[in-house]
């Protein structure tokens, strides 16, 4: 095992993947320097200095994935940032690649981020004004710097960000551990470099063997079986903190460390958020946007900007899971409005140089119609609520159509495989609008669908499901997928979510609230958050909702047994009964618009 781990199995966004570019040309001077933090730790930093007379405003990105790679294949074309007159700094965070220290993810970025911004602002080549950009972990370092107190930081551009909360798509979703994406990150993106830094050859070899054992467990599925999270606490000791966090209670202080869930007031600079409809951190990205927008309306502060494409965490090409959304869907085109780098340059020019803010606050890609739309805010003010009720004969309609129930068996020994959606996994588990045919034929996947639509139906905004369910167990997971069923019978996922019964009274952002068992054989109401989307269901298509008891390896396989803190129970099969009709209003709740602009 080496740092050249099979790239097909690595989450590409975590490798800062993107279109390969030439290194910055004669427009920049390249320096490799060190940034000294308050405790003396030195961080490797690449400075790209424009030719001409400075000083210049600076743009900084910080992450744990080898910052030197940003010169060639980062999310933005750094050569063009330099050519636009910015001093550009690319930095390895503490304990990663060329930087000293011990890596303590997220927590370290508060003080370190503030120090890095202050160091950069004080350079003679800098005007004292700093902006930051970057996706995924490189978005968290931006918020961390603000939390740490960085007066020179005047604007940030976080993309695909989990910075809102650890509980809504980062470590958990609906109370269910995100075991698949956690391992995708710790095992493939973090462990290899940490192993090379081990000084003792014997300890390094021992950790390599643990890595190989985890690799085998991932390949065989053993890493994701029911109970696996608690079975091998010593696996991959060097990144054991990743799985350790999944074992902690939802209200643990560790889940708040480095997050802005309690500190939205600290985000007092202009913010440009970038997301993807199939990104694992879409929920966090949109929740940050909503809270910043609400504060802007209340206080008159800067209005957040938002750009969301038909992208996953590691694919911004506009072609995903066999669906081609058109050349304009790519981050390299954005519908002819300039690529992602050009959008950032305009944003930073306005924020750091008092340039013209010539772009609308919101630009989102409307899937189905396959075009970009510009808005004052998302969702637009003219949306309305549409409720589609689960009914008899697998019908989905605006009014309850008959009463009844459908049953399925939740068997932890045979979980439903993950099939597309907003995932961050490894081959063969693909993100995006994957056809659900492979799993919709299973006995533990039940579906309801509308009649073929006579006219377009555009969903733009929040999506949730309300499921009335009784189970023979003392806990239950409910997975819901909103799908677009095409006239040819294919059914492609648009949005999805999960809710664990024992966590249904726990706030999904803060973790506040008590876990409690599900009462066996008693009907319970499960509210499942599918986050948001912008999607047009075309005439002849059907709106479809699928319900299942699991999605593995994305989410931990539930054991159908309530487990008080510190207790581990053996998994057991359980029968779930979904009830519908006027007295049991199981339904899909959508925000829709009459005619998108």
237, 342: one domain? no
Would you state the pLDDT for residue 595? 59
Give the separation between CA 94 and CA 101, rounded to whole angstroms. Answer: 5
pLDDT values of the chain reduced to their tens digit, one per residue, 597 residues: 333 334 334 443 333 334 444 444 545 799 999 999 999 999 999 999 998 888 999 999 999 999 999 998 899 999 999 999 999 999 999 999 999 999 999 999 999 999 999 999 999 999 999 999 999 999 999 999 999 999 999 999 999 999 999 999 999 999 999 999 999 999 999 999 999 999 999 999 999 999 999 999 999 999 999 999 887 656 788 899 999 999 999 999 999 988 999 999 999 999 999 999 999 999 999 999 999 999 999 998 899 999 999 999 999 999 999 999 999 999 999 998 899 999 999 999 999 998 766 779 999 999 999 999 999 999 999 999 999 999 999 999 999 888 999 999 999 999 999 999 999 999 999 999 999 999 999 999 999 999 999 999 999 999 999 999 999 999 999 999 999 999 999 999 999 999 999 999 999 999 999 999 999 999 999 999 999 999 999 999 999 999 999 999 999 999 999 988 767 889 999 999 999 999 999 999 999 997 544
Domain's final residue, options 375, 405, 440 = 375
In a domain, 20, yes or no: no
Q: How far apart are the first and last CA of the chain?
A: 52
In a domain, 399, yes or no: yes
Residues with Cβ within 8 Å of residue 217, at least 6 apart in sequence: 223, 228, 232, 235
Cis peptide before 55 (omega within 30 of 0): yes
Would you state the pLDDT for residue 11? 40
124, 245: one domain? no
Give whole-number Cα distances, 309 to 162, 247, 345, in Å. 17, 33, 18
In a domain, 5, yes or no: no
In a domain, 429, yes or no: yes
Would you state the pLDDT for residue 356? 67
In a domain, 541, yes or no: yes
Exposure on the CB side of residue 220, measured as CA atoms within 13 A: 10
Residue 552 has φ and ψ, to the nearest 5°, of -120, 135
Q: Which helix (H) or strand (E) holds 275?
A: strand 272-278
Would you state the pLDDT for residue 568? 82
What's the domain range around 182? 176-249
Pairing of strands 126-135, 153-159: parallel
Would you state the pLDDT for residue 354? 83
Mapped onto helix, strand or coil, the DSSP state of residue 565 is coil
Would you state the pLDDT for residue 319? 98
In a domain, 16, yes or no: no
Domain's final residue, options 344, 375, 406 = 375
Output the domain CATH number for residue 390.
2.60.120.260
Residue pair 423/552 in contact by the 8 Å Cβ criterion: no
432, 537: one domain? yes
202, 233: one domain? yes
**Which residue from 363, 377, 378 is spatially nearest to 459, judged by alpha carbons?**
378
401, 447: one domain? yes
Residue pair 337/330 in contact by the 8 Å Cβ criterion: no
Domains of the chain: total: 3
286, 181: one domain? no
405, 510: one domain? yes
In a domain, 474, yes or no: yes
Residue pair 558/476 in contact by the 8 Å Cβ criterion: yes
**Which residue from 169, 218, 198, 241 is spatially nearest to 508, judged by alpha carbons?**
169
Q: Which helix (H) or strand (E) holds 272?
A: strand 272-278
Domain's final residue, options 345, 375, 405 = 375
Output the domain CATH number for residue 261.
3.40.50.1820
Question: What is the residue-wise DSSP string for 128-153?
Answer: EEEEEEEETHHHHHHHHHHHH--TTE
148, 187: one domain? no
432, 479: one domain? yes
In a domain, 53, yes or no: yes
118, 180: one domain? no
195, 297: one domain? no
421, 334: one domain? no
Size (the chain), residues: 597
Beta bridge partners of 492: 435, 484
């Amino acid at each position: 095992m080496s740092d050249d781990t099979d790239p097909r199995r690595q989450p590409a966004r975590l490798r800062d993947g993107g279109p390969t570019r030439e290194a910055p040309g004669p427009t920049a001077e390249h320096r490799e320097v060190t940034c000294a933090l308050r405790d003396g730790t030195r961080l490797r930093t690449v400075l790209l200095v424009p030719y001409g007379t400075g000083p210049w405003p600076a743009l900084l990105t910080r992450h744990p994935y080898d910052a030197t790679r940003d010169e060639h294949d980062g999310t933005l074309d750094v050569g063009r940032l330099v050519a636009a007159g910015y001093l550009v700094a690319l930095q390895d965070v503490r304990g990663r690649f060329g930087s000293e220290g011990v890596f303590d993810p997220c927590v370290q970025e508060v003080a370190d981020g503030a120090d890095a911004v202050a160091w950069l602002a004080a350079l003679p080549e800098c005007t004292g004004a700093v902006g930051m950009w970057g996706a995924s972990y490189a978005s968290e370092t931006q918020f961390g710097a603000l939390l740490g107190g960085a007066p020179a930081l005047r604007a940030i551009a976080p993309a695909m960000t989990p910075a809102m909360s650890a509980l809504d798509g980062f470590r958990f979703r609906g109370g269910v551990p995100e075991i698949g994406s956690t391992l995708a990150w710790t095992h493939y993106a973090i462990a290899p470099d940490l192993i090379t830094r081990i000084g003792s050859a014997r300890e390094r070899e021992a950790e390599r063997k643990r890595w190989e054992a985890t690799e085998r467990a991932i390949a065989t599925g053993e890493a994701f079986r029911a109970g696996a999270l608690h079975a091998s606490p010593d696996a991959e000791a060097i990144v054991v903190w990743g799985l350790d966090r999944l074992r902690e209670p939802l209200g643990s202080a560790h889940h708040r460390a480095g997050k802005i869930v309690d500190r939205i007031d600290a985000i007092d600079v202009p913010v440009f958020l970038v997301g993807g409809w199939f990104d694992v951190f879409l929920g966090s990205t949109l929740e940050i946007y909503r809270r910043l927008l609400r504060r802007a309306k209340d206080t008159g502060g800067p209005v957040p900007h938002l750009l969301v494409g038909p992208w996953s965490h590691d694919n911004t090409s506009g072609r995903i899971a066999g669906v081609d959304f058109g050349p304009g869907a790519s981050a390299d085109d954005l519908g002819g409005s300039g690529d992602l780098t050009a959008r950032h340059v305009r944003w930073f020019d306005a924020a750091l140089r008092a340039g013209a803010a010539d772009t609308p606050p919101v630009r989102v890609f409307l899937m189905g119609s396959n075009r970009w739309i510009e808005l004052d805010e998302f969702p637009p003010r003219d949306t309305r609520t549409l409720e589609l009720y689960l009914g008899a004969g697998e019908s989905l309609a605006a009014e309850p159509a008959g009463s009844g129930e459908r049953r399925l068996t939740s068997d932890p020994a045979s979980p439903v495989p993950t099939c597309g959606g907003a995932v961050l996994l490894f081959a063969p588990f693909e993100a995006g609008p994957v056809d659900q045919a492979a799993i919709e034929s299973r006995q533990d996947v039940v579906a309801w669908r509308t009649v073929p639509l006579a006219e377009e139906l555009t969903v733009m905004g929040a999506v949730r499901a309300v499921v009335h369910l009784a189970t023979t167990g003392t806990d239950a997971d409910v997975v819901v997928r909103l799908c677009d069923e095409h006239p040819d019978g294919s059914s492609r996922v648009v949005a999805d979510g999960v809710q664990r019964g024992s966590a249904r009274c726990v706030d999904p952002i803060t973790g506040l609230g008590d876990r409690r068992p599900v009462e066996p054989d008693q009907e319970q109401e499960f509210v499942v958050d599918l986050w948001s989307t912008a999607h047009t269901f075309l005439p002849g298509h059907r709106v479809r909702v699928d319900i299942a008891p699991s999605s593995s390896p994305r989410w931990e396989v539930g054991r159908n047994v309530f487990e008080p803190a510190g207790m581990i129970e053996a998994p057991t099969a359980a029968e779930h009964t979904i009830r519908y009709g006027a007295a049991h209003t199981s339904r899909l709740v959508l925000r829709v618009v009459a005619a998108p602009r």
